[in-house]
Each structure stands twice: as C-alpha cells, then as structure tokens.
C-alpha cells in the first residue's frame, strides 16, 4: 500500500517596514511554441527531500532546452498597461491555478495581428518579468497557454489609445512559478533569468 506523506514546509511570512512592491510587469514578454521545447524545467513536489523552504515550492528547477534552431521571441508592450493574475480553480483533491495575462501592445500593427492569427491555434509558453526583476512563467508541459486577441482603435485622437490585447491563460499546479534558468534568444545569446542579463552562449 502506498505510503502517504504528511510533510509540509509552512513558514511565517513577514512584511518588512518600508518594503516597496511596485505593480505591473516590465515592457517585454518572451514566448515560444511548446512544440519547440525539448526539456522542461520542473516544479518540486512537496515530498521531495530537497524541499526545505516554503519559497522553493514556487520555483522551477532546470532550464528550457529548445529544439535546434528554435529560440524565444519577444513582444514589446505598452508601458504601465499589462498585468498578470492568478486564481484557484477546481475541486478538493484536484485544485489548480488559472494563470492569466493581458499583454497590451501599442496600436494594431500587422505584426501583432499576424502573431495573434497564429497563436490562437498554437500552444505557447510565455515568460514575463516583474518590476522587481523576477521572471515568471505562464504555461507548462501539461497546460500550455491558450491565446486570444482583441483590439481597439480608440475614438478620440487627442485623448485615447489604439491598442491590441493578447490574452494568455493556462492552468498550473503553482501560481505563476518563478524561473531563474536560461532563455535561448539566438545561437549566440541567452537571457539569464537569475539576473536579467543577456549573455553569450558557452560556444561563443
């Protein structure tokens, strides 16, 4: 008979005086088709021996390894407009989180319309950066992002916005898990999500 684990790693959560939390996400998201991913970073399980800190339950381990000639692409966003949310869904014993993002782009350029046309029938993995520098992931091997799009030309030339909205949604076992691994950007460069710096690959 399978043994049940009663392990937990609950810890106190403190809010330091003067600590600032700036809302919003930074002006760039990174994406790739799930079909380009060969190896996935993984969330630890509660019963894993190496899980000794509560924060580690929300941190992905390992890197995204992509197929040959596949790389993460990026989309520049309208400043101070996009957001990410999560909420619990499901019933006891099978609860998950719905992780959602509204990525707002300035205007309705053909490139954005072309992206949305493809993405609505694809399965994407999306990485975004919080204003504190932390990178988080939407989508996973079991539940990649579902994508939908909308646009608004606005009406007032002097007091309005023309925007396109890329809506992303995925289920996950964790609220928007944190990622500190590598994002391949080209054959010669990758984004190090541990410090936010673009670096040269080892072969260069």
Query: For residue 6, what pLDDT is reported?
Result: 67
The vertex-184 CA angle with 66 and 119, nearest 5°, equals 65
pLDDT in tens, the chain (204 residues): 667 766 789 999 998 898 888 999 999 999 999 999 999 999 999 888 889 999 999 999 999 999 999 999 999 999 999 999 999 999 998 999 999 999 999 999 999 999 999 999 999 999 999 999 999 999 999 999 999 999 999 998 888 899 999 999 999 999 999 999 999 999 999 999 999 999 999 864
φ, ψ for residue 103, nearest 5 deg: -95, 115
pLDDT tens-digit map of 138-190: 999 999 999 999 999 999 888 889 999 999 999 999 999 999 999 999 999 99
Could you tell me the pTM of the whole model? 0.94
Q: Are 167 and 147 in contact (CB under 8 A)?
A: yes
Q: Are 171 and 89 in contact (CB under 8 A)?
A: yes
Residue ranges covered by each domain of the chain: 25-200
Q: 193 is written with which tokens?
A: 């999500």
């Amino acid at each position: 008979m399978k043994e049940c684990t009663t392990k937990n790693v609950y810890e106190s959560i403190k809010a330091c005086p003067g600590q600032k939390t700036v809302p919003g996400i930074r002006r760039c998201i990174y994406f790739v088709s799930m079909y380009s991913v060969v190896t996935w970073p993984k969330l630890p399980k509660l019963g894993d021996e190496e899980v000794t800190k509560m924060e580690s339950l929300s941190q992905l381990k390992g890197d995204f390894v992509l197929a040959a000639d596949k790389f993460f692409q990026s989309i520049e966003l309208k400043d101070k407009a996009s957001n990410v949310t999560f909420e619990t869904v499901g019933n006891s014993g099978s609860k998950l989180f719905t992780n959602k993002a509204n990525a707002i782009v300035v205007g309705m350029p053909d490139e954005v319309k072309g992206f949305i046309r493809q993405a609505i029938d694809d399965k994407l993995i999306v990485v975004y950066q919080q204003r504190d520098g932390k990178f988080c992931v939407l989508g996973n091997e079991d539940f990649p992002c579902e994508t939908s799009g909308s646009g608004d030309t606005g009406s007032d030339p002097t007091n309005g916005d023309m925007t396109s909205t890329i809506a992303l949604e995925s289920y996950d076992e964790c609220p928007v898990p944190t990622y500190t691994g590598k994002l391949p950007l080209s054959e010669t460069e990758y984004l190090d999500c541990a410090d936010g710096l673009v670096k040269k690959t080892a072969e260069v």
